[in-house]
């Protein structure tokens, strides 16, 4: 199970996940920084960089949780900064406080041709024209959804100080289960993101099916998640760190050993890169690929609804 050696039902897992995130909400960003030695910021930068949103791209960030604004700690906030920067290219520079990476970089030359074609189709759908400065959007650019109102509340409060008035107009919040986004009509978004959220869901197949449903044709599924380290020596080092250091850190910083022990165990139970890729393909996505970050500690999976 995800909870050590106990056997739990699906309903118990859902309850457990809810209470874990209620327990850690307030200290979540601080713990992320400590556990990953700040590297999660780089992973998130790379993730949004891979999305490469255009001015009119509409995104849903599922399991969006909290987002503390300190050099853009969160996918939705980063997306907005990135999107606005793409309409004001003069203010966006490599090493700027917005991102450590330049969003205008081309796809890597070694990417397969088919993927470049899919990327071109996605860009055509997702980023047609430039958004006039200061113009009110007819529909918001980003919808952040999470099952846990406490995580949304923290994110919402932070958005008031983290985002400019312009950016705040572009973000919306929704309490929803990733497995059943019932209030969202079919084909609503250009991009669906889920970062460090899918492994907490009970039926990950349902999550991917819902992602497929809410994406427009040509839309892109993007998932950033902890994954498996293929190299056995590095995996041993990583295991020692995960099982010995992280729960202890959780106890010291957030006063909660068990929640962080659960987080580590849920990472180990999650399908590896290839298995997860197959699940995405089975849901109907095409040109599915993944990119390992930090030796496979995390991976970005991507697929297109074509």
66 is in an annotated binding site: yes
Q: Is 55 flagged in the annotation as binding?
A: no
Q: Total number of residues binding ligand SAM (CB under 6 A)?
A: 18
Which residue in 63, 118, 143, 211 binds ligand SAM (CB under 6 A)? 63
- Of residues 119 and 179, the one with the C-beta less far from ligand SAM: 179
**By the rule CB under 6 A, 147 interacts with ligand SAM:** yes
Q: Is 211 within any annotated ligand binding site?
A: no
When the beta carbons of 270 and 287 are compared against ligand SAM, the nearer one is 270
- By CB under 6 A, is residue 250 in contact with ligand SAM? no
Which residue of 184, 201, 246, 293 would you call a contact of ligand SAM, by CB under 6 A? 201
In the complex, the smallest distance separating the C-beta of residue 279 from ligand SAM, rounded to whole angstroms, is 16
Of 49-57, 142-150, 234-242, 281-289, the segment contacting ligand SAM by CB under 6 A is 142-150
Question: Could you tell me the smallest distance in angstroms from the CB atom of residue 205 to ligand SAM?
Answer: 13
Nearer to ligand SAM, 127 or 200 (CB): 200
Task: Please state the separation of Cα 243 from the chain's center in Å.
Answer: 24
Pairing of strands 215-226, 298-304: antiparallel
Q: Which residue is nearest to ligand SAM (CB)?
A: 65
Does the annotation list 195 as a binding residue? Answer: no
Q: Which of 80, 98, 184, 195 is close enough to bind ligand SAM by CB under 6 A?
A: 195
* Binding-site sequence positions for S-adenosyl-L-methionine: 66, 146, 177-178
Which residues make up the interface to ligand SAM (CB under 6 A)?
A: 17, 21, 63-65, 75, 146-148, 151, 177-179, 195-197, 200-201
């Amino acid at each position: 199970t995800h909870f050590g050696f106990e056997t739990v039902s699906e309903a118990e897992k859902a309850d457990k996940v809810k209470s874990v995130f209620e327990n850690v909400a307030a200290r979540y960003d601080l713990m992320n920084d400590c556990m990953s030695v700040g590297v999660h910021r780089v992973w998130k930068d790379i993730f949004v960089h891979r999305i490469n949103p255009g001015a009119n791209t509409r995104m849903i960030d599922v399991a969006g949780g909290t987002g503390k604004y300190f050099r853009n700690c969160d996918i939705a906030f980063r997306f907005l900064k990135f999107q606005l920067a793409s309409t004001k290219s003069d203010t966006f520079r490599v090493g700027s406080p917005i991102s450590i990476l330049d969003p205008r970089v081309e796809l890597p030359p070694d990417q397969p041709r088919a993927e470049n074609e899919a990327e071109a189709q996605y860009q055509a759908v997702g980023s047609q024209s430039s958004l006039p400065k200061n113009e009110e959007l007819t529909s918001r650019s980003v919808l952040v959804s999470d099952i846990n109102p406490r995580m949304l509340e923290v994110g919402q409060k932070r958005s008031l100080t983290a985002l400019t008035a312009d950016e705040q107009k572009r973000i919306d919040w929704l309490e929803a289960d990733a497995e059943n986004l019932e209030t969202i009509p079919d084909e609503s978004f250009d991009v669906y993101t889920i970062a460090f959220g899918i492994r907490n869901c009970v039926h990950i197949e349902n999550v991917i099916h819902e992602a497929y449903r809410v994406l427009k044709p040509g839309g892109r599924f993007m998932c950033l998640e902890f994954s498996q380290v293929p190299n056995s020596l590095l995996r041993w080092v990583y295991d020692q760190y995960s099982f010995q250091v992280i729960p202890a850190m959780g106890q010291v910083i957030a006063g909660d050993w068990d929640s962080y022990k659960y987080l580590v165990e849920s990472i180990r139970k999650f399908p590896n890169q290839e298995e997860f890729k197959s699940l995405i393909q089975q849901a109907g996505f095409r040109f599915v690929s993944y990119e390992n970050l930090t030796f496979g500690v995390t991976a970005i999976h991507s697929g297109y609804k074509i």
